[in-house]
Chain A
Amino acid sequence: MEQQQTCSSEEIAEADAKLAKVQLAIEQFKMIKGALIPVLHEVQDIYGYLPEQVLKVVATELNLPLSEIYGVASFYHFFSFTPKGENVIHVCMGTACYIKGAQAVLDRLSTELKVPVQGTTEDNKFTLEATRCLGACGLAPVMTIGEKVHGRLIPNAVPKILNEYK
């Protein structure tokens, strides 16, 4: 799967810069107790997910078994081991949203995008996720696409909203 690809010098520089950021984060947290989860947050911030190679660096630096890091990271739903699509859609499945029809909105998104929940579209444009309460219950049902919040949704509004991102 991991085919050797020729990387441009920019890509290499970018990869190095990201790794340098990880190193910096590790340095920052290394001395505190319970450093692992703060470091994982930083890695996910930097890469958008938790790449295995980077976790090996974390394991070495924090002197933890990789199985433990995997165990911790896979416990928390905030962390992901796979890269996401360009636009991550979080449909709030909090109670208020659910009662007001979030399931229908989620189903419609799934139909429109032709991906199951947790899936990423073939063109890598969208990742569809159901998420814990976003705390915007006043706008129920709610979803976020990237940073943008879309509230008071009805299934019929879905195609139009998606078009904004295509």
Chain B
Amino acid sequence: MKLLTDLDAIRALTQGRLDNRKITGEPTGSIQFRSVMVCGGTGCTSSDSNKIIAALEKEVLNHGIQDKVEVVRTGCFGLCELGPVVIVYPEGIFYSCVEVKDIPNLVEQHLLNGKPYEKKIYEKTKQGGEILNFEETDFYKKQVRIALHNCGVIDPEVIDEYIASDGYKALGKVLMTMSRQEVIDTMKQSGLRGRGGGGFNTGLKWEFASKQEKDQKYVICNADEGDPGAFMDRSILEGNPHSVIEAMAIAGYAIGSNQGFIYLRAEYPIAVQRFVKALDQAREYGLLGDNVLGTGFKFNIDVRLGAGAFVCGEETALMHSIEGHRGMPTPKPPFPAVEGLWGQPTIINNVETLANVAQIILNGAQWYASIGTEKSKGTKVFALGGKVVNTGLVEVPMGITLREVIFEIGGGIPDGKKFKAVQTGGPSGGCLTEEHLDCTIDFDTLTSLGSMMGSGGMIIMDEDTCMVDVARFYLDFTKDESCGKCTPCRIGTKRLLEMLDKITEGKGTIDDLEKLENLSFQIKNASLCALGQTAPNPVLSTIKYFRQEYMSHIVDKKCKAGVCKSLISYEIDADLCRGCSLCARKCPSDAITGELKEPYVIDTVACIKCGVCFDVCKFKAVVIV
């Protein structure tokens, strides 16, 4: 078991390693040491970053420079679009889309000879003849990393590195110098609100649970990230798992609980593996267990795997799932803080919320509250996705505008297309338009516009996106993920989806539009849990801001974005067709005929609109009309 003084010793010992991972320009001193950070997040791992690490280590050995170079597998750098990503300190050179075959040159040129490997340097860091360090790029410049702190900086599998970056210092501070109420007051004053969707004040939540006079209480970390298109929780678990463990222990101390559970998505194998490893390390160091840091405080954490149910993001459903039941929500009140897991007072916080806790304890409530807006404090992590140049994870202060995030950090819309909408809040949120681009991002503004913060998915859509189809997509999702318990959600979302299907198939009537709106309001009002209460948001917001698009589907029977299959047809542009016959050969319904070297023709009656011809044509001769 470690004591506070042991942690200080580890810090002293490991600090030097972390100092090497700072941007200080050219390496100095006699050793000329370099740190090579390779992203080990899910995105980059998917594009083989593990092989890159192996190749790096091999090349470093081959050149005999293992004393001058460290290769570190870190958590996510955020710019997933450009993965696999490699960053080299102390210059802060950002390599993108690195492949195994690049490694020998990269090692020889940069690590051995000190000359950056031009070929894979991230384009945006090249300015004139200069190479910027990555923190100076648009993508990183405006970010403030609190929840994502340590991601991309430390090796998440090495607890000493976490400790060296002031890890478990907050836990020590809390246990040694703060009363339970002081911890709660600090959280309350910081203004931190839940990052999982509801946006409830975290300190208040803790206070409710703290006031319950029960022997057994529970702390739950909701890590069943379900919003399609949001992956910040996964990144934190993969890149900085100890921050979550530390925060859960702090929460346990604050509310008087000795048992935590983390409800982790089974579909996140890397996060599960890293988190379990971190738990083992924390137990070994006595940072969890019966006598944490020798203070007599007892706290343990058990892992429970989710099993593919979005509704388990709902607190009561999540608890029933941990209890071993179907993940069906129950009404609130009673609130979990009063009657939660197995009937005992329970707090549930999501990963990103918890990732802020240690920072708040260490730096103070005032520091945190100084970031953000009046009612939305601190930062928020967004997963930028869809039709945007820089897809990835960004952490920005609350109060930043949508435009700044999408066009400055995100780099705008690719391929010269026009921005059409941004969807925030996932299936519970709504679509906002160009007129909202200068609105600030905070809980209340987004809600007032008919969307919501949610867990932080931010999907950008361009002119090729059909908004009716987007609404249909989300309803298809919520219909699938509805637990089926309450009537409005179970049958209502199905009926909404059926009406949207009708409209996208060109069979909709004006009447349907009114029905869609009415039913949406009723589902919002009458559903049992937040899933149902927010499920119609994508429908309502798209009708509100894109009514014209619905009308053109209903009245003109046209899908201008060319997405809704029933409302489009494929034709071959005779001027562009070279008569190569590829489309005719690939057509599964033999709908394309013609003579070689003459323009081919599509029989629109036989055509099943599978789009294969469109995909395969090398001359862009197949067009959607």
Contact = CB atoms under 8 A, between A and B. Distances in A.
Given A37-B321, A111-B588, A132 B310 contact: yes
B256 interface: no
A72 B328 CA distance: 10
Contacts of B612: 108, 111, 155
Nearest to B82: A138
Contact of A72 (B310, B325, B387): B325
A34 B325 CA distance: 8
Interface string B41-53: 0110111000000
A138 B615 contact: no
A96 B615 contact: no
A96 B611 contact: no
B383 interface: yes
B391 A136 contact: no
A99 B326 contact: no
Contacts of A96: 228-229, 383, 385-386, 391, 459
A142 interface: yes
B615 A133 contact: no
Contact of B473 (A41, A77, A95, A140): A95
Nearest to B305: A41
A95 B309 contact: no
B228 A107 contact: no
A18 B392 CA distance: 41
A134 B268 CA distance: 8
Contact of A133 (B47, B227, B305, B324): B227
B330 to A, nearest CB: 15
A79 interface: yes
A78 B615 contact: no
A33 B324 contact: yes
B422 to A, nearest CB: 11
A42 B114 CA distance: 50
Contacts of A37: 304-305, 307, 321-322, 324
Interface string B548-588: 00000000000000000000000000000000000000001
A95 B226 contact: no
Interface in A79-109: 79, 93-96, 98-100, 104, 107-108
A107 B231 contact: no
A104 to B, nearest CB: 6
Contacts of B228: 93-96, 98, 132-133
Contacts of B227: 133
Nearest to B427: A95
B615 A136 contact: no
Contact of B230 (A78, A133, A139): A133
Contacts of A23: none
Interface in A29-65: 32-38, 40-41
Q: Identify the interface centre among A34, A79, A151: most chain B CB within 10 Å of its CB.
A: A34
B423 A72 contact: no
A108 B321 CA distance: 36
A146 to B, nearest CB: 12
A138 to B, nearest CB: 2
Contacts of B324: 33-37, 72
B80 A136 contact: yes
Contact of B225 (A33, A93, A135): A135
B229 A137 contact: yes
Q: Identify the interface centre among A32, A108, A135, A149: most chain B CB within 10 Å of its CB.
A: A135
Interface string B589-618: 000000000000000000000111001100
Q: Identify the interface centre among B228, B306, B327: most chain A CB within 10 Å of its CB.
A: B228
Interface string B167-193: 000000000000000000000000000
Contacts of B459: 95-96, 99
A43 B423 CA distance: 39
Contact of A142 (B46, B328, B387, B483): B46
Contacts of A78: 266-267, 306-308
B342 interface: yes
A134 B231 CA distance: 8
Interface in A126-164: 131-140, 142, 149, 151, 154-156
Nearest to B342: A33
B307 A41 contact: yes
Contact of B83 (A38, A71, A139): A139
B541 interface: no
Contact of A155 (B231, B305, B307, B611): B611
B304 A107 contact: no
Contacts of B230: 133
Nearest to A154: B615
A78 B383 CA distance: 24
A75 interface: yes
A99 B81 CA distance: 15
B385 A95 contact: yes
Given A79-B307, A100-B387, A132-B308, 14 more contacts: A37-B304, A38-B305, A79-B308, A94-B385, A95-B386, A95-B473, A96-B386, A99-B386, A104-B611, A104-B615, A135-B234, A138-B385, A140-B385, A140-B391
Of all A-B residue pairs in the complex, the 10 with the closest CB atoms, nearest first, are: A138-B80, A96-B385, A149-B46, A76-B307, A78-B308, A135-B231, A94-B228, A95-B229, A34-B324, A77-B308
28 contacts: A34-B323, A37-B307, A38-B304, A75-B326, A75-B328, A94-B228, A95-B229, A95-B386, A95-B426, A95-B474, A96-B229, A96-B385, A99-B386, A111-B588, A111-B610, A131-B267, A132-B310, A133-B226, A133-B228, A136-B231, A137-B43, A137-B229, A137-B383, A138-B43, A138-B79, A139-B83, A149-B47, A151-B46
